[in-house]
């Protein structure tokens, strides 16, 4: 049957979720997104946990949605595919203990939205970040439009979201997209040191502080619904069709001005 698309590793009061599709840089197909949703919800109910770590099997964190799967879908199925990824992102965001995205290699599109849903982001210098969806005719559909400007500010978010450009780990640290940066091979030590600090805090106080912070940062549900409605419309657009064809044919999209 092959390797499972998602692994869960336990070490005492810490759970590590590993995205495990390394051959496609851990791209999010429906099976992986559904497994992540189920796992995140299960971990959310575990009162023994102090923290959850999310990482990808080398060589990447997550390259985003699996466009090879999406190419074959109808517009309605593409919307459902996006909603499946959005459900995984939200399930990760709702885990009541601190969550840390541990990032090496590509952290792009839906993968970057997973990282944004975590409380903290630790990366090594191989990490690359971006929201290239506009270069395929869409925009981030799993909460990134809300979370990115909260994290880096509206202007820097606009820079990344409107251009689709990819940035390196040093720039990501400078603009506040990540919280810690280290050389390759040092991430585990960085995480262990932070978890040591966390364990000095009262577990219930940390859970309650996270709930309070989430409430303070959560945008109005109507706003989120409006953003999702705008994103769904793009699943039916000629530009998205062209973006997917260009991806499949390994060429630049041929955008026609409206």
Which of 15, 106, 111, 113 is catalytic? The answer is: 113
Q: Are 240 and 230 a contacting pair, CB within 8 Å? A: no
Classify 142 as helix, strand or coil: coil
Q: How many Å separate Cα 244 from the centre of its chain?
A: 21
User: Left (φ > 0), alpha (ψ -120 to 50) or beta: where does 201 sit?
Assistant: beta
Q: Across the strands, what pairs with 11?
A: 14
Does residue 86 have an active-site annotation?
Answer: no
Q: What angle do CA 63, 66, 72 make, to 5 degrees?
A: 155
Contacts of 126 (CB under 8 A, 6+ apart): 104, 105, 169, 184
Contacts of 253 (CB under 8 A, 6+ apart): 135, 136, 137, 239, 242, 243, 246
Does residue 35 have an active-site annotation?
Answer: no
Q: Across the strands, what pairs with 39?
A: none
> Do β-strands 99-103 and 14-19 pair in parallel, antiparallel, or remain unpaired?
unpaired
Contacts of 179 (CB under 8 A, 6+ apart): 120, 121, 122
Which of 127, 133, 141, 243 is catalytic? The answer is: 133
Does residue 249 have an active-site annotation?
Answer: no
Does residue 77 have an active-site annotation?
Answer: no
Which of 33, 40, 51, 65 is catalytic? The answer is: 65
Q: Are 61 and 14 a contacting pair, CB within 8 Å? A: no
What are the catalytic residues?
65, 110, 113, 133
């Amino acid at each position: 049957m092959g390797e499972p698309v998602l692994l869960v590793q336990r070490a005492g009061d810490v759970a590590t979720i590993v995205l495990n599709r390394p051959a496609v840089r851990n791209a999010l197909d429906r099976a992986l997104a559904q497994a992540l949703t189920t796992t995140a919800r299960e971990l959310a109910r575990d009162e023994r946990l102090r923290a959850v770590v999310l990482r990808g099997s080398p060589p990447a964190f997550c390259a985003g949605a699996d466009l090879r799967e999406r190419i074959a879908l109808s517009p309605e199925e593409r919307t459902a595919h996006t909603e499946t990824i959005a459900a995984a992102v939200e399930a990760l965001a709702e885990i009541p203990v601190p969550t840390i995205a541990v990032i090496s290699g590509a952290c792009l599109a839906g993968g970057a939205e997973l990282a944004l849903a975590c409380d903290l982001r630790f990366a090594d210098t191989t990490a690359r970040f971006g929201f290239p969806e506009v270069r395929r005719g869409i925009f981030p559909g799993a909460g990134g439009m809300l979370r990115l400007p909260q994290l880096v500010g509206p202007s820097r978010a606009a820079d990344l979201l409107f251009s689709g450009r990819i940035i390196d780990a040093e720039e990501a640290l400078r603009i506040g997209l990540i919280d810690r940066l280290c050389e390759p091979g040092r991430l585990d030590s960085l995480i262990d040191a932070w978890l040591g600090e966390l364990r000095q805090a009262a577990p219930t106080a940390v859970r309650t502080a996270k709930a309070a912070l989430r409430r303070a940062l959560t945008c109005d549900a109507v706003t989120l619904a409006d953003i999702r409605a705008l994103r769904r419309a793009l699943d039916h657009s000629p530009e998205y069709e062209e973006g997917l064809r260009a991806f499949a044919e390994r060429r630049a999209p041929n955008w026609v001005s409206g």
